[in-house]
Structure 1
């Protein structure tokens, strides 16, 4: 096997999680799969939790890759940027849930149960949105994110269906006048 990298470890751990579930995968199993001792993994990760946090956040970043960074070149106003950014967040999480509910459940449950991982994910989202809008008031952005949480929080995944975009647009129409004032 070639050089052991953080990316290779994450890929191997992801494959094992997909086959066995996160609870059954140990650092020893990841090391065995790579042909190294589990102690060698500590060169790249502090502990098992550090590996799972990296794995979960990498999975989320992959499904949300269109937000990191969000391309705003075709936009003429911040209201449209915000709408589309929120919809992509919603759509991508909904598709991840629909396409692979088991892996969606594994990774989102891990993040929701680990305040540090959740904080990193929320900070990544806030930074992406702040950069896209060129708007630095994080309190305002966090308030907007909370208002739309039913469309992106895994806790509501079972409610996502073919009417989700309709409901998203209904909320958007209610919020839009205040959002326009915010950016003017």
Structure 2
């Protein structure tokens, strides 16, 4: 049996697998180590601490199930404002879908990422950059894209998840869009 090279990617994938198999959002580092046939201490060669590992797992989940599910082709748009509207709509619906399809990871993400604005800001950076580039905003900072996404926080922050299935969801989104569209 060939021994696998232990990498950050393999540890993150193993954590995802164990979460799925056990249906628990918190897996001990010992369980991950056992699954990989390594020592508990070997994980610390790749992650500073347990929190660092779980942030990496959450960031990977966020990228895979939210950012990568924002399914719009930038090249299909000449109207930047329409692109931004559709991008934001795709983003909030990807977040809603991620909540409905994997609540364990959503809860883990809430615990480790959504409660820490600096970690959340880092995880959202690809979204900020995409908005900034498509809209042609000043690239010396990411303030404008961050403010735009912040305006839609009721559609993305976990504390509002119980409102995401209300019949007025799209109406509330469009009302929020109406408030910002002339300033984008």
RMSD: 2.2
Shift of the 65–106 alpha-carbon distance from structure 1 to 2, 3 Å rule, reads same
Contact 2:61–2:105 at 8 Å: present in 1 too? no
Deviates more, 1:136-145 or 1:57-66: 136-145
Kept after mapping to 1: 8 A contact 2:47/2:53: yes
> Deviations for 1:123-170, whole angstroms, at most 9, x for unmatched residues?
333223212323236333222222211111222111101432232123
**3-state DSSP of counterpart to 1:36:** coil
2:113·2:119 contact (CA, 8 Å) conserved in 1? Answer: yes
Equivalent pair of 2:70/2:94 in contact (CA under 8 Å)? no
Gaps of 5+ in 2: none
Cα shift at 1:20: 5.2
CA offset at residue 114 of structure 1? 3.6
Q: Are the structure 2 counterparts of residues 62 and 38 from structure 1 closer, same or farther at C-alpha, using a change threshold of 3 Å?
A: same
Q: Which residue of 1 aligns with 2:42?
A: 40
Unaligned runs of 5+ in 1: none
Deviation at 1:171, TM superposition (A): 2.4
2:144 maps to what in 1? 140
Q: Give the TM-score normalised by structure 2.
A: 0.84
Contact 1:10 1:55 in 2 (8 A): yes
Shift of 1:46: 1.8
CA distance in 2, matches of 1:22, 1:98: 15
Aligned equivalent of 2:154: 150
Number of residue pairs aligned between Structure 1 and Structure 2: 177
Q: Which residue of 1 aligns with 2:16?
A: 14
Higher helix share: 1
Are the equivalent residues in 1 in contact too, given 2:25–2:107 (CA < 8 A)?
no
CA contact (8 A) 1:126 1:142 kept: yes
* Greater CA drift, 115-124 or 83-92: 115-124
Partner residue of 1:110?
Answer: 112
Counterparts in 2 of 1:52 and 1:117: CA distance versus 1, 3 Å: same
